[in-house]
Chain A
Amino acid sequence: MQEQHIASAFDRDLETIQARIMKMGGLVEVSIMDAARSLETRDEELAEQVRANDKAIDALEEMINEEAARVIAMRAPTASDLRLILSVTKISGNLERIGDLSKNLAKRTGVLAQMPPVGDSPAAMRRMAREVERMLKDALDAYIQRDVELAADVIGRDHEVDQMYNTLFRELLTFMMEDARNITPCMHLHFIAKNIERMGDHVTSIAEQVIYLVTGERPEDERPKADVTSVSL
């Protein structure tokens, strides 16, 4: 990709940090999929696994931040090295948040398991989670390959996740109006949908870091906000 540094230990440090980001990314992908599946199948054991998994994700984030701080202190990185270090700290933060949101999904599995199913929204949630997980995979691939086009594609796809969320939001609202007994499960389902939508935002932020890392530019215009629920109530 790039020439080696004269100080080979610098290259090793940067490689180690990036390897940790990829490991963390892999764990988060699994976490999203497991959380979504546990919701659909009401599998509390799988949900428990997601919660346990989150500890490993948190530990990796801490490790990445410590290593990044060390590289800054010892090597005073500049130019693309500096952007790399800034991007890993940001990306690990995004991954950690996605992990948290995923853990939160898994927590609600237990609650939902106690209630009658409402509509087919869990399947819709799984489709949404599946799309976010694909976006994350592509964002991480874009990161490793320094692929600006793929990163831009991921950013565009977040729009679709927002649309899915809006649709679900309206559906849940209808269920709640039809029957007040649906309110509790629907509130949980809404939090779940909202959490998945938030995950998409974090994935978008990762893709933006890829663009910054490669070009030195932050993607310009703020996307038009596709989440309309804040004004449609």
Chain B
Amino acid sequence: MNDMSTIERGAKLSETKVSARGVNVHYGDTHAIKDVNVDISNNNVTAFIGPSGCGKSTFLRCLNRMNDTIDICRVDGAIQLDGQDIYDKRVDPVQLRARVGMVFQKPNPFPKSIYDNVAYGPKIHGLAKSKSDMDDIVERALRRGAIWDEVKDRLHSTGTGLSGGQQQRLCIARAVATEPEVLLMDEPCSALDPIATAQVEELIDELRENFTVVIVTHSMQQAARVSQKTAFFHLGELVEFGETGQIFTKPEDPRTESYITGRIG
């Protein structure tokens, strides 16, 4: 009998979007990620959980080559997006980051208008042919960020004047404006109150219709609520990766069990 069927009914049949093989990351002498293999599937939310310092953010940043910007960071192994090696010399990291967008822990809108925050990416990547084209892109992104109704009458006031939760949804709108395929989120709710958190979680669930979402969270309840797949990292290793329902009811590795039941930090 498949007793996970009700819990996993949200999971779609899906294909591998991002695949990592034998990934190792060093910061100088620090071995931060140790031989990680993982397949992240399309149109699903995958959560990365694990104690602080276990390498969640490091691994997440490998997926859009954000680690390139850190001098002492060395990434080895293979990461493919739709079967294409993203560390290939011919891949332009800026173009890659348009396909693999990122949302950070602290909402970080630019000190510009709400409209310009969202229009910035599409402008750089030349996605709009005209002003009205851009208006459409901005509206569509703000709607996908579930914040359109709250800001449509003040598109030209500054983004930093919004509440924390609104700012984070604006940042999500900004990230989706370039039509990325994958959305990486690093603890996107850790600076938000419970209501704003619930709104962002609701939004994440809607986003997986169109995007592949990977979220780092230190809240196990959040991982359980928003994700279909969960990966548990510990000391740089990927200890266990599986259906979220299975991880939270019947984890296979004792380290996963200890962590999610609150026995190890």
Contacts and interface: CB of A to CB of B under 8 A. Distances in A.
A79 B259 CA distance: 10
Interface in B157-173: none
Interface centre among A81, A83, A218 (most CB of B within 10 A): A81
A78 B248 contact: yes
A3 B249 contact: no
Contacts, number: 42
A78 B249 contact: yes
Interface stretch (A5-13, A22-30, A36-44, A133-141): A5-13
Chain A interface main SS type: loop
B29 interface: no
Given A216-B249, A216-B250, A218-B3, A79 B261 contact: yes
Nearest to B250: A216
> Which interface residue of A3, A7, A75 has the most chain B CB atoms within 10 A?
A3
Contact of B261 (A5, A216, A218): A5
A6 B265 contact: yes
A166 B258 CA distance: 48
Nearest to B221: A76
A146 B120 CA distance: 60
A77 B257 CA distance: 11
Contacts of A10: 262
A143 to B, nearest CB: 19
Given A76-B221, A78-B220, A218-B3, A3 B248 contact: no
Contacts of A78: 220, 224, 248-249, 260-261
Nearest to A2: B263
B258 A3 contact: yes
Contacts of B221: 76
Interface residues of B, number: 18
B260 A79 contact: yes
Interface in B218-265: 220-221, 224, 248-251, 256-258, 260-265
Contacts of B257: 79-80
B263 A83 contact: no
A79 B251 contact: yes
A2 B265 CA distance: 15
Given A79-B257, A80-B257, A4 B263 contact: yes
A5 B248 contact: no
Contacts of B256: 79
A4 to B, nearest CB: 7
The contact size tier of chain A is 10 to 19
A82 interface: yes
A82 B263 contact: no
Most buried by A among B221, B250, B257, B264: B250
Contacts of A81: 261
Contacts of A77: 261
A218 B262 CA distance: 25
Interface string A52-83: 00000000000000000000000111111111
Interface in B162-206: none
A83 B249 CA distance: 7
Contact of A80 (B1, B3, B261): B261
A49 to B, nearest CB: 42
B23 to A, nearest CB: 27
Nearest to B263: A3
Contact of A7 (B1, B248, B249, B262): B262
Interface string A77-112: 111111100000000000000000000000000000
Interface string A148-168: 000000000000000000000
A18 to B, nearest CB: 16
10 contacts: A2-B263, A3-B258, A5-B262, A5-B263, A10-B262, A77-B261, A78-B220, A82-B249, A83-B249, A216-B249
Given A79-B249, A79-B260, 16 more contacts: A3-B258, A3-B263, A3-B264, A5-B261, A5-B262, A5-B263, A6-B264, A6-B265, A10-B262, A75-B262, A78-B261, A79-B248, A79-B257, A80-B261, A81-B261, A216-B250
Interface of B: 1, 3, 220-221, 224, 248-251, 256-258, 260-265
Interface of A: 2-7, 10, 75-83, 216, 218
Sorted nearest first, the 3 A-B pairs with minimum C-beta distance are A216-B250, A3-B263, A78-B260
